[in-house]
Structure 1
């Protein structure tokens, strides 16, 4: 007699069930995106911006700056890849180009998956291409995220020296510094205390990813690498805003960037709607005309979304044969097509 657990495992991994779960995930993501766009549209409409004024703001924008900023988004991904590669190379044999590709794939996945689940796709991408354990790659991803927030704090310090900051930015940075401290202590304690773990277990491999052979050298290097992407994107905001006739200093642009990142707590794929609302709110608080603030926010988001999704989908498609899930998905759709075709 067949064991019920074995039967359940076969059902879970069956192509038909994979297809069903994939379809449900896509549907949920699409509904979440529509909700976000609808929410954003209502919030922006509340500002009193008319479509006529919005079209005029888009028409007056300097197109060459927007095109240049589109290229700048890939430079941003490249700077983020430098930071993660610096961490990964201490524990895993992986090339920089693989990390760069994973960053783009992860961003594209975040545009269709809620709650930043694209970050897990990024981990899976690197694991599939290198053969390294997922838990080990995940650990380096956590360290990368931790250093990323350190970079946020360093960039805040730079911006704070340039011009005064709104009180809410100071409060957000205080909360972030507390989170950074707590997570840093937790990671350090786990690395030191969790020594007697079962070999090849998830936690053992996770700890292996946390254990850096040259921690002091890594920490020193990250003082430079971690703020790179934050400084670059802050300058990008200044640059793109100028395309719409909006003059922002570095501190104001950093406040806009902070609002964009805080809005990511809303678990909507691609941060649709929440991104525009947060950016528009801060810009209008700085005295920017609502129609220009909305035009900038929408354009800036699209600068990332359009090329990011296209490039990420292309890279992922080229490497999809490495992923067991998509092999099963192809078999599922292939089986359905075969059944539907005439004999």
Structure 2
């Protein structure tokens, strides 16, 4: 929490550095808030597609409907908004496992695969945005080629991970052994999550499910990019829609950095840094980022709290259970048992 608070404060200061607060007030005053229904519509599609994809990832393990996986998913994202250290992911594991008696490590494996497909989709949009967006300096084209190379490497790495899981895990273990500054618990957690991810790969063996997982991954982030573009348009920021892809990519990777729940400060800095290349005033970029973030934060948190209340999960219990899931994975106590259960 202390580290997250420091990161948030530093990012907020960097995002507003040199901005006259009167400019921010003016930017909010002239903004068009009638776009909020469009923002909420894009948000709904984003999470609906996430639920569809999660249902497909879980299908070989247990056939569930989109309506059945949605409560656990929204409780998890609510947890990321109000709990530190991305504990919402582990809360999501706990809730679905408790609801449908699925081994926790198996549920976690589907989340690991989600992240892999998310990274590939986001990198694709980021590369497209940087390469094709008009009026960007030539050096950005070089960056886009680097991103494209990263996509190729990522796809090869995912393929290797799927085919030679244990060999890849051993490779990472040997790499970590040469990085003594990394905490032992962290390296153990990463290796356990990689091993857990192998359990959820059954869905990739089905052409129907694999195709569905791929297109929903790209579609959901397209809607997230649309949300960003609507937010920019609401504040009269005249840029190419491809600029929204750049903001999407930078922001998606920026929120990986430890920060306070909800990723405040980090999102603002990502918007500011991304849009500066397109000649957008810092005050407008900052204001649009607040509008975008709050339009996502409050609906997700409220819906997540509704589902947690419906499931009888209290806030204090939710935090404790999320921490327990993380501690269990760090200790690796139930990895073997759950793997056998699969």
Q: Normalization by structure 2: what TM-score?
A: 0.74
Contact 1:105 1:312 in 2 (8 A): yes
SS in 2 for 1:93: coil
State the match for 1:25 in structure 2.
none
Q: 1:312 to 1:33 in 2, by over 3 A?
A: farther
CA distances 1:197-233 after superposition (whole Å, capped 9, x unpaired): xxxxx99986553223842222223342220011111
Q: Do structure 1's residue 303 and structure 2's residue 295 form an aligned pair?
A: yes
State the match for 1:246 in structure 2.
237
Q: Do structure 1's residue 57 and structure 2's residue 48 form an aligned pair?
A: no
Which residues of 2 match residues 66-215 of structure 1 at below 5 A?
66-156=36-126, 159=129, 162-163=132-133, 166=140, 167-190=142-165, 207-212=198-203, 214-215=205-206
Aligned equivalents of 1:240, 1:92: Cα separation in 2? 38
CA distances 1:231-250 after superposition (whole Å, capped 9, x unpaired): 11112211111100012223
| Cα displacement (A) at 1:40 | 2.9
Q: 1:109 to 1:173 in 2, by over 3 A?
A: farther
Q: 1:206 to 1:304 in 2, by over 3 A?
A: closer
Aligned equivalents of 1:213, 1:280: Cα separation in 2? 38
Which protein, 1 or 2, shows the higher relative CO under an 8 Å CA cutoff with sep ≥ 6? 2
Structure 2: 5+ residue runs without aligned partners?
Answer: 170-192, 322-342
State the match for 1:45 in structure 2.
16
| Cα displacement (A) at 1:34 | 4.1
Aligned equivalents of 2:316, 2:198: Cα separation in 1? 25
CA distances 1:53-82 after superposition (whole Å, capped 9, x unpaired): 101100111011134313422221111111
State the match for 2:213 in structure 1.
222
Structure 1: 5+ residue runs without aligned partners?
Answer: 1-27, 195-201, 330-343
The root-mean-square deviation of aligned C-alpha atoms, in Å, is 3.3
Pair member with larger Rg: 1
Q: Normalization by structure 1: what TM-score?
A: 0.74
Paired residue total: 292
